C-alpha cells in the first residue's frame, strides 16, 4: 500500500478542517486550502445555498435535508450560536454537498457571499398562547439585519423567508432591499408551503387518499384566518359538505397551533416546517436550473388583489417568480374567507412596512 508522507496527511487534515471552519486563519496562508478552493472530490455542480438560523429547531432538520439535495453543491450554515457543532455533524453525511459553518454577525457576510438561494428560518418559535404576531418584535429585527446582509453580499440571490410572522417579515425584507437599491420582487418569497403540506395531508385523511396524490391551493397569507385553502379547486376534483369544508378550513388554519399545544411549551412546528421548506427550496432550485412548469404557492409581492403582498400559485424559474397566477373561480364560502383574510393581511403588511421605515 502506498505510504503518504506526513505533508500529504497534514494537507488532507487541513483541507477537512477548512470545510468545517473556513475562517480559521485561512489555513495559514496556503492558497490551495482557502475556502474557495475547498471542494469535496466528486462534488457535484449545483447551486450555493445559505441557511440563516441553521442551528435552530427548524434550521437543523432543514440543514440536514438540504445536505441530501443533489441540486446543492455548497451549503453555508449560519447562526449566532452552535453553528459549528451542527456543521461538523452534518458534514459527516456521505453526500456530495460541501458544508461550511459560520458563527455570529461578524461572519454573516462570508456566509452570504456568492449564494444563489438564501433560506431564513432564523428567529424565536411560538410558545402556547402566543400568536405569530407576538413574535413580531424579536423576529422583525432579526430579519431586517439578515436582509441588510443579503442586499450587500448576494443581492441577486433568491430569498425564501420562513421567519414568522411571514405576513409582516416579507414586507420588512422588501423595504430593506428597496432602501439598498437591490429590490427585485421576483426574488423575494415568503414560504407558505407548510399550509399546503397540511392541507394536502388533512384533505387526504378525509378522502382516504395518499397525500401525495392530493393538491390543495392555499392562498392569502400565513397566519390564522389569512390562510385560505381553496377546497373548491382541489385535485383530484372532489366536493365536500359544508361541515367538511368548515372543519378542514379551520384545521388547516390552526395546524400550527395544534403542534404548539401538543409540544406543550417545547416549541412549534419544526420538523414538518423543515420538510415543507425543503420541498419549496427544491422547487426554487429546479426553477433556477430551468425546469419547466415548476408551480407552487408562495407569499409574494403581488397584484392578484389590491394588497401589495399575497400568497397564491406562482411559476418559478431562473429569476425566481416568473409568473403569478390569478385566484381562479372561488365559491361563496371562500369569497367570505377571502374578505376576512385581506382585512387581517392589510394590517400585518402595514405593520411590517412601518417597522422597516421607523
Catalytic residues, by residue number, are 222
231-to-256, 303, 329, 345 alpha-carbon distances in Å: 19, 22, 11, 20
The Cα 246–Cα 240 span in angstroms is 9
The torsion region of residue 53 among left (phi > 0), alpha (psi -120 to 50) and beta comes to left
Angle at 138 between CA 136 and CA 143, to 5 degrees: 85
Task: Give Cβ neighbours of residue 46 (< 8 Å, ≥ 6 apart).
Answer: 70, 71, 72, 73, 74, 97, 285
The Cα 45–Cα 357 span in angstroms is 40
The torsion region of residue 166 among left (phi > 0), alpha (psi -120 to 50) and beta comes to alpha
The Cα 125–Cα 281 span in angstroms is 21
Strand-strand pairing, 98-103 and 72-79: parallel
5-to-8, 9, 10, 11, 41 alpha-carbon distances in Å: 5, 7, 9, 10, 20
Q: Which residue has the cell 442586499?
A: 151
The Cα 75–Cα 143 span in angstroms is 20
Comparing C-alpha atoms, which of 299, 353, 311, 314 is closest to residue 161?
299
Amino acid at each position: 500500500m502506498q505510504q503518504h508522507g506526513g505533508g500529504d496527511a497534514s494537507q488532507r487534515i487541513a483541507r477537512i478542517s477548512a470545510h468545517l471552519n473556513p475562517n480559521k486563519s485561512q489555513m495559514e496562508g496556503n492558497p490551495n486550502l482557502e475556502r474557495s478552493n475547498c471542494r469535496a472530490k466528486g462534488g457535484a455542480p449545483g447551486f450555493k445555498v445559505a441557511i440563516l438560523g441553521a442551528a435552530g429547531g427548524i434550521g437543523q432538520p432543514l440543514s440536514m435535508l438540504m445536505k441530501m439535495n443533489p441540486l446543492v453543491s455548497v451549503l453555508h450554515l449560519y447562526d449566532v450560536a452552535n453553528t459549528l457543532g451542527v456543521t461538523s455533524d452534518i458534514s459527516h453525511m456521505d453526500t456530495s454537498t460541501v458544508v461550511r459553518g459560520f458563527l455570529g454577525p461578524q461572519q454573516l457576510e462570508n456566509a452570504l457571499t456568492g449564494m444563489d438561494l438564501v433560506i431564513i428560518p432564523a428567529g424565536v418559535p411560538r410558545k402556547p398562547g402566543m400568536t405569530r404576531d407576538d413574535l413580531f418584535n424579536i423576529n422583525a429585527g432579526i430579519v431586517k439585519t439578515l436582509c441588510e446582509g443579503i442586499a450587500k453580499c448576494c443581492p441577486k440571490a433568491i430569498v425564501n423567508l420562513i421567519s414568522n410572522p411571514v405576513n409582516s417579515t416579507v414586507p420588512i425584507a422588501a423595504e430593506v432591499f428597496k432602501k439598498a437599491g437591490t429590490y427585485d420582487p421576483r426574488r423575494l418569497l415568503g414560504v407558505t408551503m407548510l399550509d399546503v403540506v397540511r392541507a394536502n395531508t388533512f384533505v387526504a385523511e378525509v378522502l382516504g387518499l395518499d397525500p401525495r396524490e392530493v393538491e390543495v391551493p392555499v392562498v392569502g397569507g400565513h397566519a390564522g384566518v389569512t390562510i385560505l385553502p381553496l377546497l373548491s379547486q382541489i385535485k383530484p376534483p372532489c366536493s365536500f359538505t359544508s361541515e367538511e369544508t368548515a372543519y378542514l378550513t379551520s384545521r388547516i388554519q390552526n395546524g400550527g397551533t395544534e403542534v404548539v399545544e401538543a409540544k406543550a411549551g417545547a416549541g412549534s412546528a419544526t420538523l414538518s416546517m423543515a420538510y415543507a421548506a425543503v420541498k419549496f427550496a427544491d422547487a426554487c432550485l429546479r426553477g433556477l436550473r430551468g425546469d419547466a412548469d415548476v408551480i407552487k404557492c408562495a407569499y409574494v409581492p403581488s397584484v392578484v388583489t389590491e394588497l401589495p403582498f399575497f400568497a397564491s400559485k406562482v411559476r418559478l424559474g431562473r429569476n425566481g417568480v416568473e409568473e403569478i397566477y390569478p385566484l381562479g373561480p372561488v365559491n361563496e364560502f371562500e369569497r367570505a374567507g377571502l374578505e376576512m383574510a385581506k382585512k387581517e393581511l392589510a394590517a400585518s403588511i402595514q405593520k411590517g412596512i412601518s417597522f422597516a421605515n421607523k
